[in-house]
Amino acid sequence: MVGSIWLLLQLLSISLLSTTTVSAATTEQITRLRRRRANVKDCIDQPAGKFHNKDDTPPALVKLNQQLIQRAVVAARLSYVVQEFNIASKVNQYRNSYERFDAWEDLNDAHLVVKHDNVCYGVFRATRQRNLIDILQNIKPTNQRVPGTKCTVLKGFWNGYNTKYLSQFRTKLRQCIKSCNNNKKDCPLILTGHSQGAAIATVATMDLQKYKPTTLAFAPLQSVTNLVRCKKSIRASKIYNFINASGGIYDDAPFGSRSGKIMGRVFLLDEGNAVAYLGMHNNKPREPLARKIHAVELYRTRMTQLAGSFLSSPCSTRKNSLKIAKWRDGHWCSRNDECQSRHCSSQQQLCTSHLLGNKQQGNNNAIKLLRTSGSPCESDAACESGRCFRERCTLENGKLGIGANCVNNQDCDSGRCDNSGYRSTDDDPKICSPRRDVDSWCHENADCLSGNCSGRLPFSIKRCHS
């Protein structure tokens, strides 16, 4: 009984995460943030056989092509748009920006069908804040088999997909997919969402397998209850799960519950634009966890930064693919499976190789370990950037990256240290966040790209103005 109560409280805390306190800044404006090049050391191939899951094909890395990353930027943007209140009434507004745009919603959920650059997107809404019914949807303990598959999922996520407007959604999605048949080919299909919406996108993947979808899930809640059977009947290799990690902490939504499983490829995104590929179906718990890096805006910004650094990255291949392995020596970590060396030092909380061990044993030929942005430090000399600030290594410019703990706006590369997102206590540090677009909610001038946060009346709600 005590265990059941604990699980209920954990899931309730995840469900209360705010995904609507962030702005829908345009890709063009987000690119004004400084780009972080991936280091060539982040791309080193793993030795054959050095991977944690037999579902992976050697070597233990994955290639994310430029096209997929660009689509992930669009998917993250749409994952924000679907959160808008009364989105179904704004269809005509959004049809000015997209080739197709259809929306349905009820008190709990919303589905979008969007066409952009001849790609169709099926988009699903995350948990609505302060909506008890929607919160309870995340914690229904019963299972539901997805018709026509061998997969069972948590019933709440099935209910989030199987809405009263599901038939209309399927019809519009099919029409969108067939709208590219001038070349005798269907439009590619991307299924996406954030948090609860990402879990629903995974459920939709099972139902819509005939369209061979690619699923881009941001901070997915765990939804699959029979992973072993399900992964044999689903193209799980086309499910990409992206999870934020900053300065030694992890987004708690994907790891805060043990009631289901994440299916597909799993990636960690850090504040320095280094990506760690954890392999297929990696559901190992991570600690420590924090919900303050869960907001959809952070995911959108990190995907945009990854796309912006793509062409200049030393990891790019001739086929326009970005090779993603695991974090290199000097990067912070909590588990061995995050490191290229397969070793995370429990004392230092750093990825280390045997060369470092040799150094400690007096081998003068061993390399000197420098720490990457976000890694713990005690002095400037320990960091690649040459600066240790608030016991963490900074970016190359001496500033902190998106998602890093901060105190003042001046600490952040973006120029914004946000205190409007979720913090469990007043002592919980603020985080570096992207600045917001015109017409977005704000608290102070530093929140806005324009530098102008104001309201018509002294006590009115403020917005960013040009």
Instruction: Give Cα 357 to chain centroid, integer Å.
Output: 34
Sorted by where each begins, the domain ranges of the chain are 11-324, 329-398
- CATH of the structural domain 11-324, one choice from 2.30.30.100, 3.40.50.10680, 3.40.50.1820, 3.10.580.10: 3.40.50.1820
User: How does pLDDT run across 93-123, given as a tens digit for each residue?
Assistant: 999 999 999 999 998 899 999 999 999 999 9
Confidence (pTM): 0.83
User: How does pLDDT run across 371-382, given as a tens digit for each residue?
Assistant: 999 999 999 999
- pLDDT at residue 134, rounded to an integer: 53
In angstroms, rounded to a whole number, what is the distance separating the alpha carbons of residues 178 and 188? 10
In angstroms, rounded to a whole number, what is the distance separating the alpha carbons of residues 271 and 402? 5
Specify whether the CB–CB gap between 53 and 162 falls below 8 A.
Answer: no
Q: Are strands 453-454 and 344-345 parallel, antiparallel or unpaired?
A: unpaired
Give, in degrees to the nearest 5, the angle at Cα 94 between 71 and 66.
Answer: 10
432 CB neighbour count, 10 Å cutoff:
24
User: How does pLDDT run across 408-431, given as a tens digit for each residue?
Assistant: 999 999 899 986 555 555 567 788
Torsion of the alpha carbons at 309, 311, 317 and 319, rounded to the nearest 10: 130
Region 143-150: mean pLDDT is 92
Give the torsion sign (CA, 378, 270, 411, 311). Answer: positive
Specify whether the CB–CB gap between 187 and 119 falls below 8 A.
Answer: yes
- Residue listed under structure tokens 């303050």: 292
- pLDDT at residue 58, rounded to an integer: 41
Q: Which amino acid appears at position 405 of this protein?
A: N
Span between the terminal Cα atoms of the chain, in Å: 55
Instruction: Give Cα 393 to chain centroid, integer Å.
Output: 22
Lowest-confidence region among 124-133, 237-246, 297-306: 124-133
In angstroms, rounded to a whole number, what is the distance separating the alpha carbons of residues 84 and 194? 13
Q: Give the pLDDT band (50/70/90) at residue 29.
A: very low
- pLDDT at residue 311, rounded to an integer: 57
